[in-house]
């Protein structure tokens, strides 16, 4: 009696189906690609950076056993996370976690205070230097002064590293825990934006003639940022 052999077409179909299922599983539960569209996280993350986002590490773990066995953890101050924008949940934003649930946060002369104590933020970038003590600023300028506010339970206060050019919790409020999608892990590719190309090459060089895609891949790829760990 001869063993039944699968047809070549069926083997190909099963291999492709398994690959698709694994890809969907990985994208849904483990990792997702994300592209930086704005300069709100400069100079840490640049426009044109393509990131891998770890969706598993910040996932909910309902039991102590799961928390002990699986590589998951709670959200920490300083984490850079991708999340659903509360005002338009179909849009993804990326910001840094600054205020944790239960903490009181205040911004004075662009310096962040948590529970009355200033925090060290070596990653922060300012377009305009902070105002000096006693210097008059507009009362509504949340880039200079904000709060104090207390972060509600299961919510977070998010801010961009480019503090003068970031639409963050100072404008739209707190981030609910359920909106968090994952923690930014690494840059897998970085492509110089047209804005940067205009500055480097000149407007005429950037737009004249037929675009040479192959040339631009090599000349505009930021090779030094590939596999850059995000912190």
Mean pLDDT of 110-118: 97
The CATH homologous superfamily of the domain defined by 28-229: Umud Fragment, subunit A (2.10.109.10)
List C-alpha distances in Å: 167 to 48, 110, 137, 180: 18, 15, 20, 17
Mean pLDDT of 105-123: 96
Mean pLDDT of 134-149: 81
Domain residue spans in the chain?
28-229
63 or 91, higher pLDDT: 91
- Residue 144 CB burial class (10 angstroms; 0-12, 13-18, ≥19): buried
pTM, two decimal places = 0.78
pLDDT of residue 222: 94
**% of residues, the chain, pLDDT over 90:** 58
100 CB-near residues (< 8 Å, 6+ apart): 75, 76, 77, 151, 156, 157
Q: Provide the annotated active-site residues.
A: 40, 95
51 or 134, higher pLDDT: 51
pLDDT of residue 209: 43
């Amino acid at each position: 009696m001869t063993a039944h052999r699968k047809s070549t077409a069926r083997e190909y179909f099963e291999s492709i189906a398994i690959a698709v299922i694994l890809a969907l599983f990985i994208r849904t539960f483990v990792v997702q690609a994300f592209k930086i569209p704005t300069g709100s996280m400069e100079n840490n993350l640049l426009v044109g950076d393509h990131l891998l986002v770890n969706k598993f590490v910040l996932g909910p773990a309902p039991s102590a056993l799961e928390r002990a066995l699986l590589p998951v953890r709670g959200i920490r101050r300083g984490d850079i996370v991708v999340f659903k924008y509360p005002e338009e949940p179909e849009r993804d934003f990326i910001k840094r976690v600054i205020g944790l649930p239960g903490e009181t946060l205040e911004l004075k002369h662009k310096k962040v205070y948590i529970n009355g104590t200033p925090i060290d933020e070596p990653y922060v970038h300012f377009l305009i230097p902070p105002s000096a003590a006693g210097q008059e600023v507009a009362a509504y300028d949340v880039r200079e002064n904000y709060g104090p506010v207390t972060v509600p339970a299961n919510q977070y206060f998010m801010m961009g590293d480019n503090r003068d050019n970031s639409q963050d919790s100072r404008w739209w409020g707190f981030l609910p825990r359920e909106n968090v999608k994952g923690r930014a892990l690494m840059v897998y590719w970085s492509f110089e934006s047209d804005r940067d190309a205009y500055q480097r090459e000149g407007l005429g060089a950037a737009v004249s003639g037929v675009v040479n895609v192959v040339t631009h891949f090599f000349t505009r790829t930021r090779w030094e940022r590939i596999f850059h760990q995000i912190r």
